[in-house]
Amino acid sequence: MSAILVSCAKKDSAAQLNVIYISMEDMMPSFGCYEDTIAYTPNIDKFSEDAIIFKDAHCQVALCTPSRTSILTGIRPSTSGIVKIDDDWQKMLPHATSLPRHFRNSGYHTVIAGKIHDYRSGETDDAYSKVFDIHGIDDNDLAFKAIDNAINQKKPFFLALGYSQTHDPWTPDPKSESHYSLNQFSSKDRHPYYKGELLDSTDIKNLQKKYYGEITEVDSLIGEILARIKQLELHKNSVILLGAMDHGYSFGNHSHWGKGNNYDDETRVPLLISTPGCKNLAIEALIELVDIYPTLIELCGLPNPPQSLEGISFVPLLRSKNKEWKKAVFTHRAYNKDIVGVKTKKYTFIDFEGDSVELYNRISDALNRKNIANEFPEVVSEMKILKEKGWRNAMPKENQPN
Phi/psi for 191 (5° steps) reads: -60, 130
Q: By the 8 A CB rule, do 211 and 251 touch?
A: yes
Q: Is residue 154 scored above 60 in pLDDT?
A: yes
Average pLDDT of span 370-374: 98
Amino acid 207: pLDDT: 96
Residue 183: alpha-carbon gap to chain centroid: 30
Of 81-85, 146-150, 317-321, which gets the smallest average pLDDT? Answer: 317-321
**Mean predicted confidence (pLDDT) in 154-159:** 96
| Percent of the chain scoring above 90 in pLDDT | 88
Closest CA to 182 of 164, 161, 162, 200: 200
Other Cβ atoms closer than 10 A to 2? 8
Residue 12, pLDDT > 60, answer no
Long-range contacts of 168-174 (CB under 8 A, 24+ apart): 168/26, 168/211, 168/257, 170/207, 170/210, 170/211, 170/213, 170/214, 171/210, 171/214, 172/210, 172/213, 172/214, 172/216, 172/217, 173/213, 173/217
Contact by Cβ (8 Å): 293, 71: yes
pLDDT reading at 5 higher than 70: no
Among residues 242, 301, 300, 240, the alpha carbon closest in space to that of 275 is found at: 240
How confident is the prediction for the chain on average, in pLDDT? 94
Distance CA 320, CA 121 (A): 37
**Residue 387: strand, helix, or coil:** helix
- Per-residue pLDDT, 312: 97
Q: Is the pLDDT of residue 41 over 90?
A: yes
Q: Torsions phi, psi of 382, nearest 5?
A: -65, -40
Task: Kindly report, residue by residue over 234-274, the tens digit of the pLDDT.
Answer: 999 999 999 999 999 999 999 999 999 999 999 999 999 99
Residue 399's pLDDT band, with cuts at 50, 70 and 90, is confident
pLDDT tens for 310-347 read 999 999 999 888 899 999 999 999 999 999 999 999 99
Q: Which residues contact 169 (CB under 8 A, 6 or more apart)?
A: none
Query: What pLDDT does 402 receive?
Result: 59
pTM: 0.95
**CA dihedral (383, 72, 45, 299) positive or negative:** negative
Q: Which residues contact 66 (CB under 8 A, 6 or more apart)?
A: 60, 77, 82, 83, 84, 85, 87, 121, 332, 334
Residue 113 CB coordination number (10 Å): 28
The answer to whether residue 136 scores a pLDDT higher than 90 is no
Q: How far apart are CA 379 and CA 357, in angstroms?
A: 12
Task: Give the residues across from 58 on adjacent strands.
Answer: 268, 288
Q: Which helix (H) or strand (E) holds 238?
A: strand 238-244
CA 123/CA 329 separation, integer angstroms: 29
Strand order of the β-sheet with 109-114 is 130-133, 109-114, 157-163, 18-24, 238-244, 268-274, 52-58, 281-288
| Mean of pLDDT values over 126-134 | 95
CA dist 304 → 96, 124, 255, 292, 329 (Å): 11, 19, 42, 13, 22
User: Does residue 92 sit in helix, strand or coil?
Assistant: helix
Confidence class of residue 278 from pLDDT cuts 50, 70 and 90? confident
Whether a cis peptide bond, with omega within 30° of 0, leads into 169 is yes
Calculate ∠ Cα 173-174-175, nearest 5°. Answer: 95
Q: How many residues make up the chain in this entry?
A: 402
Torsion angle in degrees (nearest 10) through CA of 13, 15, 16, 20? -130
Q: Is the pLDDT of residue 14 over 70?
A: no
pLDDT at 8 over 80: no
- Rounded Cα gap, residues 233 and 160, in angstroms: 18
